[in-house]
Amino acid sequence: MDKYHKEGITRRDLMMLGAASAAVGVTGSLLPAGSSANAAEPATRHRTRFLLDCHVHVGGSPGLAAMIDQVHSPKDYLALRGKQPVAFAKAAGEPQIDNSNDLIAIMEKHGVTHGLIQPTPGRNASNERIAEVARNHKDRFFPLYRPESALGALGTGSMEPPTKEECRANARTEADAIENLFPKLGMVGMGEFVAGGYVTTALDPIEISRDMGPIMEALRPKKLPIMLPTGSSGWKGGLFYIYEPIWVDEVAGNFPDVPIVLTKMGRSIPTSFDACLTVAKRNSNVYFDLTETSEVHLREAIDQIGAHRIMFGTDLHGLSVNYAYEHGFHTVDGAQPSEEEWEWIAWRTADTVYQLGLEG
């Protein structure tokens, strides 16, 4: 046994320390303004039993991979489509390849032990591929489902507004997938689901909830979670439903036994975060993942709804490998959670909500 193990320091501890040090080099400090050098040690340096990233996208095109050097922050990623819409759409339209080994290397570098994985928007996005990757790495990954027909159009920016009849048909298709395909593929929940422009075109929360009814009813028996994106998106369409998710209050209230994860918890946009927090305070079945949120918003969420309803997530994918974990760790450390709060955020909340069985 080497000296590090004799002193109780694991390989993962060293990786976490390295990641925290790297973040210091980028930002200058992991401590929020006004904190002293004698403040509590950054949360991510405390060893947790597991570290689970609840927001990982597997799959990507060679064209998008070639753009990696242009993306070093969440801001860069969101701006990429706006700056190069034609090139981005063309790259997203290329056949996807399995990039799971590259993502695993990034996770191992930062001491991340587990991940909830889901397809990336684009041509030939595949739930079968996600399930296969999870089977091949069953000690690390748990698969989430996304509607494949919508992902292709979403990735290439070619999604057209559906008719009401098409919306109803789409909802029935996804409900059938939940009941029949989920068990076959071992899916533990629904990944990012943009209701607007797929199963609804309504603006009234009551109508939106009614349109989502078949999907929520299908999730209900096994209490399978669904992710609803918030804040903003690098993909065309659906922004009305993403930016200010007050409408989710109606869905959450009508289906109180279905866990709803408001992923990105507003994505650092104050008005979107306020809407997320308002909905979460009214509905105990609403959870957050902290992907691309701010230190201030994370701290407020911990104080308002508790760490037991917040999960660690980064939106790790082929274009975020240069910043995903540095940004995520910096956000957590800036919010200064206690060791117990960090334990919940790091893995325990996701383990409970997604019924992963890590605890046992």
The tens digit of pLDDT for each residue in 166-182 reads: 999 999 999 999 999 99
* Residue 27 pLDDT greater than 90, yes or no: no
Q: Are 254 and 289 in contact (CB under 8 A)?
A: no
CA separation for the pair 238, 31 (Å, rounded): 36
CA separation for the pair 179, 183 (Å, rounded): 7
For the record, the structure tokens of 359 come out as 């605890």
pTM: 0.86
Q: Are 61 and 95 in contact (CB under 8 A)?
A: yes
Q: Pick the more confident residue, 229 or 29.
A: 229
The total number of residues shown for the chain amounts to 360
For the record, the structure tokens of 232 come out as 């903003």
Min mean pLDDT across 61-70, 106-115, 233-242 is at 233-242
349: helix, strand or coil: helix
Which pLDDT score is estimated for 44? 77
Report the chain's C-alpha Rg in angstroms.
Answer: 20
In this prediction, residue 90 has a pLDDT band, given cuts at 50, 70 and 90, of: confident
Min mean pLDDT across 51-60, 66-75, 260-269 is at 66-75
List Cβ<8 Å contacts ≥24 apart for 147-152.
147/173, 147/174, 147/177, 147/193, 147/198, 148/119, 149/173, 150/194, 150/198, 151/119, 151/120, 151/121, 151/122, 151/125, 152/121, 152/122, 152/123, 152/124, 152/125
User: Would you kindly state where each structural domain of the chain is located, as residue ranges?
Assistant: 12-23+46-353
Question: In the predicted model, what is the mean pLDDT of the chain?
Answer: 87
In this prediction, residue 236 has a pLDDT band, given cuts at 50, 70 and 90, of: low
SS (H, E, C) 289-345: ECCCCCHHHHHHHHHHHCHHHEECCCCECCCCCCCHHHHHHHHHHHHCCCHHHHHHH
48: helix, strand or coil: coil
Which pLDDT score is estimated for 155? 55
Fold of 12-23+46-353: TIM Barrel (3.20.20)
Give the phi and the psi of residue 260 in degrees, each rounded to 5: -120, 120
Question: Tens of pLDDT along 142-171?
Answer: 999 999 887 766 655 556 788 999 999 999
Which pLDDT score is estimated for 122? 79
Question: Tens of pLDDT along 253-310?
Answer: 999 999 999 999 999 999 999 999 999 999 999 999 999 999 999 999 999 999 999 9
Taking Cα atoms as reference points, which of 307, 143, 144, 291 lies closest to residue 231?
A: 291
In this prediction, residue 104 has a pLDDT band, given cuts at 50, 70 and 90, of: very high
